[in-house]
Structure 1
């Protein structure tokens, strides 16, 4: 296999690997949240991730962004896609919202992205709109049995809404303003900005962290897999692909999480879950499939 073919294979595998890694987010929350208040957990996650990216970038001699505007844009996307999104989801669940409802609300992101792209004159094909609708229907079926778990309040709905708009705005902002740069240097700036924003909220939490096995494991996986792996892949995917296609991949996260929860925690996979997985897969395939090439003229 040539170097070019290996690179092509790696690029094709990126969406699959991203979905598998990102799907562990709720699993990590289930392990870590009982032992730490959300903002303290996230602040430490960002801090450890900044250190890891700094070492990685130094060893690889990665070039930092030289444009001052690029630093600013990276910081904005870091606040939105890390502090805003993760902070909103973790706060909503901590305040009593069921994980299924949180996943469903945040799952509106692909639709919100498509609406924005369309309103700005971007091309969202009718096939993609159909795929988005199918994907959301599948997502709803997957999390349906969990919608009644937990309590709904204005506070946790607001937190989940902040998460939804943060990840949507962050994706669109990155696609619009960020120039291609080394992912390690970019992630360092993004996570440093997220840490600065999250730290004051973490210091306001009075609950202490219980450093025991599950907490340490959740933190290690959050830093090494979710941030160094998943967040880096998301950055690269946004840089390479259309915003609507990339965000549609997030529809696949709850079905994958359901399978992981079944294996790890014995949670049942019902007929609704299976049908929802199938609908989600078909919907995403409609969104990300390349449009047919126009017929060649003679």
Structure 2
């Protein structure tokens, strides 16, 4: 694997999972719908300004724009909304991480049908090992005495469905070099626009855009906008251009252990020996998914 691709992977994993820390900072000051709405209103405005300066903001046809907006709605809107709603419904973060970690298995199972990229035996073993590593990491942290509604526990499945479909659609466009494929800056603009428009209704009419604009919230939003929504997603689509869908999806297995490490550094959360063991199993599983 090229050094540049390895750097992309490291950057993506760190920036993507820092979003959970940013959300934990931001949620006490606003609702989940409103947080995502403000975030993507700012992201859309920033990318629009960039495209205007570069004279690249243009109408590209309904079919092209609608497909890219669908990808954005699934990869940004559905993914984030389901994660934040689950946390807001008091579902333990470990449960959310565990359910969301089903995404690599879902992508591996469906990629052969959608992208015609077969998942080889090494990748299947890697996906299974990665999932076992996530279970090891999360299971010992779950408070089984805490009960939540069945609906709350099912919410993260929406994130799995959304990001899996978005990844497969994007990868298929990359493989077939379809005309709907846009340059990254234009694609991210329409993806962000779709997310902002989709979240506007619940943010305005359900949560009334209620927000406590304290410095902590502003700092969290700045990080979520620049580092996660722009940085992490840009790196993810770059990786999808270089690697097959299963290999990119396997990186999501690093979510729970990396997030726990960040929480330890940021909030002083305790790291258990089972966390270290889980990280080791996850890392070995991901190495197998990269093997051809």
Could you state the TM-score of these two structures normalised by the residue count of structure 1?
Answer: 0.89
128, 132, 136: which is aligned to 1:137? 132
1:42-121 equivalences under 5 Å are 42-62=36-56, 66-119=60-113
Looking at structure 2, the residues matched to 93 and 32 of structure 1 have their Cα atoms a distance apart, in angstroms, of 12
Structure 1 equivalent of residue 186 of structure 2: 185
**Is 1:65–1:181's contact at 8 Å kept on the other side of the alignment?**
no
1:243 aligns with 2:238: no
Structure 2 equivalent of residue 3 of structure 1: none
What is the Cα deviation at residue 151 of structure 1? 3.8
Helix, strand or coil at the partner of 1:40? helix
Structure 1 equivalent of residue 169 of structure 2: 173
Helix, strand or coil at the partner of 1:146? coil
Structure 1 equivalent of residue 17 of structure 2: 23
Looking at structure 2, the residues matched to 128 and 156 of structure 1 have their Cα atoms a distance apart, in angstroms, of 31
Q: Count residues in correspondence.
A: 283
1:5-16 equivalences under 5 Å are 9-16=3-10
273, 287, 290: which is aligned to 1:288? 290
1:127 aligns with 2:122: yes
Looking at structure 1, the residues matched to 70 and 209 of structure 2 have their Cα atoms a distance apart, in angstroms, of 29
Looking at structure 2, the residues matched to 63 and 240 of structure 1 have their Cα atoms a distance apart, in angstroms, of 26
What CA deviation, in whole Å up to 9, does each residue of 1:244-286 have, x standing for no partner? 1101011112211111111111111111000000000110010
Looking at structure 2, the residues matched to 177 and 147 of structure 1 have their Cα atoms a distance apart, in angstroms, of 39
Could you state the TM-score of these two structures normalised by the residue count of structure 2?
Answer: 0.91
Structure 2 equivalent of residue 161 of structure 1: 157
1:214-293 equivalences under 5 Å are 214-289=216-291, 291=292
What is the Cα deviation at residue 156 of structure 1? 1.6
Structure 1 residues 56 and 124 mapped into 2: Cα distance closer, same or farther (>3 Å)? same
What CA deviation, in whole Å up to 9, does each residue of 1:163-208 have, x standing for no partner? 1111111111222246443211110100101111111111212572
**Is 1:80–1:167's contact at 8 Å kept on the other side of the alignment?**
yes
**Is 1:117–1:124's contact at 8 Å kept on the other side of the alignment?**
yes
Looking at structure 2, the residues matched to 232 and 61 of structure 1 have their Cα atoms a distance apart, in angstroms, of 20
Looking at structure 2, the residues matched to 189 and 161 of structure 1 have their Cα atoms a distance apart, in angstroms, of 25
Unaligned stretches of 5+ residues in structure 1 = 1-7, 292-298
Helix, strand or coil at the partner of 2:271? coil
**Is 2:34–2:209's contact at 8 Å kept on the other side of the alignment?**
no
What is the Cα deviation at residue 239 of structure 1? 2.6
**Is 1:73–1:174's contact at 8 Å kept on the other side of the alignment?**
no
Looking at structure 1, the residues matched to 255 and 50 of structure 2 have their Cα atoms a distance apart, in angstroms, of 28
Looking at structure 2, the residues matched to 236 and 122 of structure 1 have their Cα atoms a distance apart, in angstroms, of 18
Looking at structure 2, the residues matched to 33 and 240 of structure 1 have their Cα atoms a distance apart, in angstroms, of 35
Helix, strand or coil at the partner of 2:155? helix
**Is 1:62–1:184's contact at 8 Å kept on the other side of the alignment?**
no
What is the Cα deviation at residue 23 of structure 1? 1.2
What is the Cα deviation at residue 229 of structure 1? 0.3
Deviates more, 1:39-48 or 1:165-174: 165-174
**Is 1:20–1:253's contact at 8 Å kept on the other side of the alignment?**
no
What is the Cα deviation at residue 36 of structure 1? 0.8
Unaligned stretches of 5+ residues in structure 2 = none
What CA deviation, in whole Å up to 9, does each residue of 1:102-160 have, x standing for no partner? 01101100001111124556411111111001111111122223322754323222321
Calculate the aligned-residue CA RMSD, in Å.
Answer: 1.9
